[in-house]
Amino acid sequence: MLLLKRREAQPSPEDALRRARIEYTRLEAELCGRHPRLRIKGYADAVAWLKDGGLAVVEAKAGRWKGRHHLLQAVAYALIAEHLTGEKVRLLVLAYRDEVMTARFTPRLALWVERVARAVRRLPDTWPPPRARRSRKCWACFYRKICL
Ligand code: SF4
């Protein structure tokens, strides 16, 4: 029940693009894929083909801006979208209930994700993995069945 409420509060990609006054010709929802060189996988809420060329990656959140990890996520999706479509991403759109934030997709942002992906790969490969610490956000997390 609560989960349903959160989903309802999440803005749709179409709504986010309309609020940010971004014009597009095509929208693909739930673009899922991987980037083989960076060895990352992702599931972007939507990718829009912009009217004046290039792509926008839209990431919609039920809550509010909670820090740079939302941006990091969108940048990772942008790299995956470029790999899958062969087109350049120009814009990142982070949509919240009360606001829509946009950022230009720059080589510097791409480098940030490359560095994080490299750092994650350097983590020791232990089995079993360390137990996750339960937190308030776990109740609504997609991964809780396998994580906790
Ligand atoms: S259930 Fe989700 S939020 Fe909780 S620790 Fe695991 S991945 Fe993080």
Per-residue pLDDT tens over the stretch 94-139: 999 888 999 999 999 999 999 999 888 887 777 777 777 888 888 8
Percent of the chain scoring above 90 in pLDDT: 53
pLDDT at 137: 84
Q: Are the C-beta atoms of residues 13 and 46 closer than 8 Å to each other?
A: yes
What is the rounded CA–CA span in Å between residue 103 and residue 92? Answer: 5
Query: 89: part of which helix (H) or strand (E)?
Result: strand 89-95
pLDDT at 6: 43
pLDDT tens digit sequence for 34-92: 899 988 988 899 999 999 999 999 999 887 777 788 999 999 999 999 999 999 999 99
Residue whose CB lies within 8 A of the most ligand 1 atoms, among 69, 135, 145, for a mutation test = 135
Take atom 8 of ligand 1 and give the residue whose Cα is closest. 138
Take atom 1 of ligand 1 and give the residue whose Cα is closest. 144
pLDDT at 3: 41
What is the rounded CA–CA span in Å between residue 55 and residue 57? Answer: 7
Tokens coding 47: 């990718």
Is 3 a pocket residue for ligand 1 (Cβ < 6 Å)? no
Q: What is the pTM of this model?
A: 0.77
94 exposed, middle or buried (CB, 10 Å; 0-12, 13-18, 19+)? buried
Cα–Cα separations (whole angstroms), residue 3 to 61, 62, 139, 140: 13, 10, 9, 6
What is the rounded CA–CA span in Å between residue 34 and residue 145? Answer: 23
pLDDT at 121: 83
pLDDT at residue 23 is higher than 90? yes
Cα end-to-end span (Å), the chain: 21
pLDDT at 63: 79
Q: Are the C-beta atoms of residues 30 and 44 closer than 8 Å to each other?
A: yes
The 10 Å Cβ neighbour count of residue 10 is 17
pLDDT at residue 1 is higher than 50? no
